[in-house]
Structures are given as C-alpha cells and as structure tokens.
Amino acid sequence: MKRIGVRWLSSLIRGAAHSSKAPNPKAKLPEKHASNMTKDSSQRSNLQKGAPKQMLADRFGRFHNYLRISLTERCNLRCTYCMPEEGVQLTPKEELLSAEEINRIVRVFIGEGVNRIRFTGGEPLLRKDLHDIVAATSELKPLGLREIAMTTNGITVGRKVPELKTAGLDSVNVSLDTLDPFKFQLLTRRNGMEKVMDSVQTCLDHGIKTKVNAVIIRGVNDEDVEGFAALAEERPLEVRFIEYMPFDGNRWDSSKLVPYQELVEKIRGKYPEFSRVRHEDAPNAVSKLWQVDGWKGRVGFITSMTEHFCGACNRVRITADGNLKACLFGNEEVSLRDAIREGAADSDLKMIIHETLQRKKARHAGMFDIAKDTMRPMTTIGG
C-alpha cells in the first residue's frame, strides 16, 4: 500500500476554480477578523470545554464534531438560489464517492469525535444506495455517533421514511420556500408543493425529528413568512428561515436579502408574544430559536449573512466528489477521494483532515466579498 506523507497534501489542493491561497497559521489576524473572534469568544469557550486537541480542532479552538456529506450533485428540482436555470455540469459517476468510501470516511471522523452526520445533495434520495449508506452509518452509533440526519427537498421522502427510519435515520430537514403552489413553481422551476407538505407530515407521523428550511428572498416569498411561522403553532417541528446567500449562478443581490431582525418584526406583527428561547440555544447552534408560549413547535433564524456564527462553527463538509471543505464559503478544497484511491491509510486521511482544518479562517469574508468570488453552485457543494 502506498503511504501518503505530509508533502502530498499540497498536491490535493484544488486549482483556481476551487482554491485560494491558504493563510499563514502564525499570521496575525486582520483587525476585522480579530474583533469578530472577540465577539464570538464566549461561544468558542463553550466549544473548547471538553474538546480534545486532536485532528478535528482548528487553530482557533473550534472542535468540529458535525460532518455533512453530499451524496449526489443531481436534483429533481431547480431552485433559483441553489442551481443555475440551465443546470450544472455533473461529475461523472465514477468520480463520485462510492458507498464504501463514504463509510470509510465516516468511520475516520467518528473515531476522532464526530457525533452528528448529515447526508445532503443535490437530492440524496436520488441515490439508489441511500438506504445502505444510512444503515452502514447507523452501525457506527456504538462508536459515539448520536444522530444521522438528512436534508431533502421533500418530493419523494414521504414514501421512503419508514425504511429510512428502520435503517437508522433520526432527523430530516425539508427544504420548502413557499406555501403557495404558484410561487413554488417559480422558485423550483418544477411542480410538487403538495408532495412536500405531505412528506413533512409523514416524517412527523413516524416520529422523525423534522425541520422545514425556507430561504427568504425579498419580493419573491417574503410574504409567506407569517404562514410559515404558523406551521410551528400546531406542529412539533422547527421552521427555519435562512438568509439568502451568494453562490455561483444564483444571481444573488443584497437588496433581495431579508435580514433576521426584519423577519422577526414581521412575525411579531401577527404574534406579539413571539420571543427568543435563549435557554435552548446550543453553544454551536446556527439557528436562533423563537417561540410563542403554547406552540407545539419553534421558529429558527439562520443569520449567516447579517450575524455570522463563525466563531462557534463545528461543521466540516465533504462534497459528492470527495472534496473536504472546511468552510461553506471558502474556495479551498482537498480531495479525500483522491487520497483514498491513491492508497492512503487512515492515518494519512487524519493528517489531511487536520492540516485542512488548520487552514480554516476565523470567519467568512462577508457577504459582499463572497458575492464577488467564484464558488461552486450550492447543489455541487451539498446543502
């Protein structure tokens, strides 16, 4: 077996389309980064409690115990904020991670402290071996894995829920950006809103922890906010509003972004008792939780653009073609697939993962700088 040493890491860094010059780990932080890290210091201190200094810790003390793996770039919708209208050039099947490679990567991460795994896409349900992947991952729960989750567009998940729950699936996030069938077709360039709503209910009926994710775009679906919040009144789910983020091909414009505080005020106009549920915020939570007393569910806000949570980030991503991304908004990627296929031992994979996390920055560049950069479309990163 060919051993892969430290020097080999540089050959895995992607080219101009998906890479950037790595920061010097010893370099002094720019003022804006330093001030933001100060702002997030309380979150970081919570993360550091009990976090071993090992492969999943970065140079800012963030411990990454949450792994998100994209299973496919394919999707049966064409959401405007996720995929260009003409679609994307798909990676050939043989260049995607196999089920066996996914399982090996999962084992390595769980062995080093990952306790949450989320399968994403594209649309993960388009992968024929999804059940086997979930079942094989579930077998690793005795090693410390606490939750297996999946993000889906909801079109077909309803009829697969029983078998996926049996396989070990614990949680589902359903992407649904409007409660209006006409707007649904406008946003996704497809029909099917009723199927998504049925899938949400099916997940709840089978005891699957369920969240509904809505990307709010001004002038498109911002009038649906109160209706979405009402879903949490009678259903034990979390409705999460996600700020509109810039990705390649989604025609992002800052004027289309509806900030967190504006969304809160909109909901308070209908529900004056709508208030923050701070005691339920986890140290590394991305969602700011709100609720009205007596509701069965809650409302969350993911404020990636206006109030970033980089200082408490515990997430690392792997794309469907096997690239490790330390930051959603970063262009640098390192291929674990290539390492595995070149004969890397588990110790080599751990070294690559650790070195990649040491290059992770204190925070993302800010929405305006992100918008100027060229990044993959979201469907090829993994939602």
What per-residue confidence (pLDDT) applies to 377?
A: 59
Q: Which phi and psi angles does 264 have, rounded to 5°?
A: -60, -45
Contact 299, 50 (CB under 8 A): no
Q: What are the tens digits of pLDDT across the range 216-269?
A: 999 889 999 999 999 999 999 999 998 886 545 446 567 888 999 999 999 999
Residues of the chain with pLDDT under 50: 1-8, 13-53, 247, 249-250, 365-372
Burial of 15: CB neighbours in 10 Å, binned 0-12, 13-18, 19+: exposed
Q: DSSP 3-state assignment of 221?
A: coil
pLDDT of residue 46: 41
Q: What is the pLDDT of residue 190?
A: 85
Task: Tell me how far apart the alpha carbons of residues 289 and 285 are, in angstroms, rounded to a whole number.
Answer: 9
Are the beta carbons of 49 and 377 closer than 8 angstroms? no
The pLDDT of residue 281 is 58
Give whole-number Cα distances, 309 to 15, 66, 102, 276, 328, in Å.
28, 15, 28, 17, 12
pLDDT, one tens digit per residue, over 261-285 is 999 999 999 999 999 997 665 667 7
Positive or negative, the Cα torsion across 328, 135, 74, 231?
negative
Distance of CA 230 to the CA centre of its chain: 25
What pTM value is reported for the model? Answer: 0.82
Q: What is the pLDDT of residue 252?
A: 52
Torsion of CA 366, 372, 375, 381, to 10 degrees: 40
Instruction: Report residue 220: phi and psi, to 5°.
Output: -115, -60
What distance, in Å, lies between the first and last C-alpha atoms of the chain? 35
Asked if 277 contacts 290 with a C-beta cutoff of 8 angstroms, the reply is: yes
Report helix, strand and coil shares of the chain as percent, to nearest 5. Answer: 40, 15, 45
